[in-house]
Structure 1
Amino acid sequence: MNCLSPSLLSSDLTRLSDQVRLLDNAGAAYFHVDIMDGSFVPNISFGFPMVKAVRSLTEKVVDVHMMVDDPIRYVDLCAESGADIISVHYEACKHLDAVIQRIKQDGAMASVAINPATPVSALSCVLDQLDMVLVMTVNPGLGGQKLIPYTVDKIRELKKLSDESKNSFDIEVDGGVNTENAGMLLDAGANILVTGHALFSGDLEENATQFLNILEE
């Protein structure tokens, strides 16, 4: 199933509840919350009160992307705050297997994100444990960047591995996603599209309809 995951980093925080409910009613299946620590990435964003706030506004999937160093420190709090899916970065984990197991013990779905220059092969030992892989199609930490073309090949590679695996997993794409490249990303094998700037700039309802129409084609 193809799903839209609006990136709330680009939302109007003064109208968060209205925008979440509009997107929920429009058909968004996920809501993407970025947590940044100013160390792993050069930006500071939301904390766990934001996860709790989004959880209170929707019954849809709360999709938390932790761009933080040593994320195992925060997994329990993330799950307690209402995250359904927790994505941690391969590059930020000292003991990736332990982090994945902690996420699962806390009752959340486990996802690992990989930066543009990190090869898919880095996940070879843990793919059978994952519910999702998040492919960063820009360098993480800042919104509004353009998609890096070579990352599309990684989506294709992951799709092939998922199809051949006994444990198929979702493939989420984050970074530079817009209505012009969404179809290409779906064709490559992604089934969850994170979009922020392209969705929240202009008429939110109209933009959401365009994205959802592409996802349904």
Structure 2
Amino acid sequence: MAWIGPAALNTELEDKARHAGIVLAGSVIAVPANQRDGLTERLLNARHWVHADMIAGRYLGQNGVTVEELLRLAGRAGHRLDAHLMVDNVVETIGLLPQDIGRITIQYPAVDAIEEAMAHARPKARSVWIALDNPTAPELSRALACGPDGLLAMLTPPGKAGHAADLRRLDTIKSAAGTQLPFGVDGGVNEENFDMLHKAGVVYAVAGRALVRAACPAPPSNRPINKAIP
């Protein structure tokens, strides 16, 4: 099947992020696997980050990137790659990642040994964030005690597509981070809620289908096919 051009980016959302001083990351799983390399180049050329979700275990709802894909993306995006691990076997998965990528984001609660996961992630990435999905007070305290470089608030259920952003999920993390720890958002980010995210103090925003539009299949041609003349 032929495709018309690479995946397109939403310039309105890009402009909002630029004016707000928010780092924008494009989720590569918003497009089919055969378009992800092209999308990565578009994101890097626009000076955005590349956000790659690995999804398995309790978070399996939509397909994430494979280890092979992540290794290839790391070769392209390097220090602007954010590997978001929504998996149960976090420590084992971290061992498969390449050295010196931009960021590893560990989904929590996902594994009891969050401290062990953080220790394994540190040598692999320039920064390590923890993503939180409506955390309880003890979960939040434990995450903060690990000394992450930032917190990522999940505005939709992690690993699940088709949900609208619930901005109330940001409140607890915003209060915990205060002015000492950068925090970002993932899930349901779009032009309509971006101004509210800016006012909340968000510095990093992951956007999927609101930022990225997959290339469309070329329409079938009605022209007759010219057969080769012997």
Q: TM-score normalized by structure 2?
A: 0.75
Counterparts of 2:205 and 2:137 in 1: how far apart (Å)?
18
Greater per-residue helix proportion: 1
Amino acid at match of 1:73: E
Alignment of 1:64-79 (within 5 A): 64-79=83-98
> SS of the counterpart of 2:191?
coil
CA, structure 1 residues 169+149, in 2 after alignment: closer, same or farther (shift >3 Å)? closer
Contact 1:31 1:61 in 2 (8 A): yes
2:95 matched to 1:42?
A: no
Which of 32, 35, 47 is residue 27 of structure 1 equivalent to? 47
Which 5+ residue runs of structure 2 have no aligned equivalent?
A: 1-20, 216-230
Q: Deviations over 1:11-40 (max 9, x none)?
A: 243232322212211221x11000011433
* Aligned residue number for residue 113 of structure 1: 131
Which of 185, 190, 196 is residue 178 of structure 1 equivalent to? 190
Contact 1:110 1:132 in 2 (8 A): yes
CA, structure 1 residues 199+51, in 2 after alignment: closer, same or farther (shift >3 Å)? same
1:45: Cα distance to partner? 2.0
Report how many residues are paired. Answer: 194
Amino acid at match of 2:95: D
1:108: Cα distance to partner? 4.2
Q: TM-score normalized by structure 1?
A: 0.79
Counterparts of 2:118 and 2:198 in 1: how far apart (Å)?
26
1:149: Cα distance to partner? 3.1
Counterparts of 1:59 and 1:101 in 2: how far apart (Å)?
21
RMSD: 2.3
Counterparts of 1:149 and 1:90 in 2: how far apart (Å)?
18
Counterparts of 2:163 and 2:182 in 1: how far apart (Å)?
23
Which 5+ residue runs of structure 1 have no aligned equivalent?
A: 204-217
Which of 119, 122, 127 is residue 139 of structure 2 equivalent to? 122
> SS of the counterpart of 1:92?
coil
1:95: Cα distance to partner? 1.4
CA, structure 1 residues 120+11, in 2 after alignment: closer, same or farther (shift >3 Å)? farther
Alignment of 1:119-158 (within 5 A): 119=136, 122-127=139-144, 129-158=147-176
Q: Which has the higher contact order (CA 8 A, sep 6+)?
A: 2
CA, structure 1 residues 106+54, in 2 after alignment: closer, same or farther (shift >3 Å)? closer
CA, structure 1 residues 103+123, in 2 after alignment: closer, same or farther (shift >3 Å)? same
Counterparts of 1:155 and 1:189 in 2: how far apart (Å)?
11
